Amino acid sequence: MKPIGKTIDSVGRATGDGVPYSVLSTRYSVTRIRYPMGLVHHTSAPFSRTGFTIVELVLALGLLAVFCGVFVPVLAAITRERRIAAQEQAAIQHAANVLEDLTRRPFSTLAATPNLDVDVPEHVRQMLPGVEQTVTATRTGEDRPAVHVAISLRWQSTGDTRSRPVTLSAWVHDRKGDTP
């Protein structure tokens, strides 16, 4: 379709005569010309620029640097908290296993030994560096004898700090006089 009226050549000069034309936009060297009956034609100069300016690139890199500056410490904190939670879970699981094993032993064995020696498995030692385990059995009561069994675990946390102790305990009663 041939435009009616003036057109703009490659240099940007209006040429032709006839029905008046209207230029809608000249941003980014693109010219839109309105023709009769509402049609619009897009033209661009041969030296039109596309891409990003140096200011836009610097702003994008600045925003990326700010995002990384905030995101990396948050990611490190999340990783540290997950590791601590996994270590605490492993310590609780090990203490529960040891406590279950000790409460199944005969009452006379627990009552005779105040400090029980229980080995820490290798997989627990790997999960809890520098683990210290304390297992005690304290006898109480003469009329109804019982033994209070407690296990406590501590390990090396980050740097030179020690973790909070994980402690579980249970009571084992003498069942000589009990009836099933």
C-alpha distance from residue 48 to each of 10, 29, 95 (Å): 11, 5, 73
Dump pLDDT digits (tens) for 166-178. 999 999 888 775 4
C-alpha distance from residue 140 to each of 8, 64, 99, 172 (Å): 105, 65, 18, 10
Dump pLDDT digits (tens) for 67-85. 999 999 999 999 999 999 9
In the prediction, which pLDDT does 76 show?
93
Q: Which residues sit opposite 162 in a β-bridge?
A: 156
Q: Which residues sit opposite 171 in a β-bridge?
A: 148
Q: Please give the average per-residue pLDDT across 6-29, as a whole number.
A: 50
Dihedral of the CA atoms 64, 66, 71, 72 (nearest 10)?
90
Q: How confident is the model at residue 112 (pLDDT cuts 50, 70, 90)?
A: confident
Mean pLDDT rounded to a whole number for the chain? 78
Number of helices (H) and strands (E) in the chain: give both, helices first: 3, 8
Q: How confident is the model at residue 48 (pLDDT cuts 50, 70, 90)?
A: low
In the prediction, which pLDDT does 15 show?
55
Q: How far apart are CA 75 and CA 70, in angstroms?
A: 9
Percent of the chain surpassing pLDDT 90:
39
Give me the residue spans of the domains in the chain.
Answer: 7-44, 54-173
Q: How confident is the model at residue 161 (pLDDT cuts 50, 70, 90)?
A: confident
C-alpha distance from residue 150 to each of 49, 110, 142, 146 (Å): 77, 11, 20, 13
Q: How far apart are CA 31 and CA 41, in angstroms?
A: 8
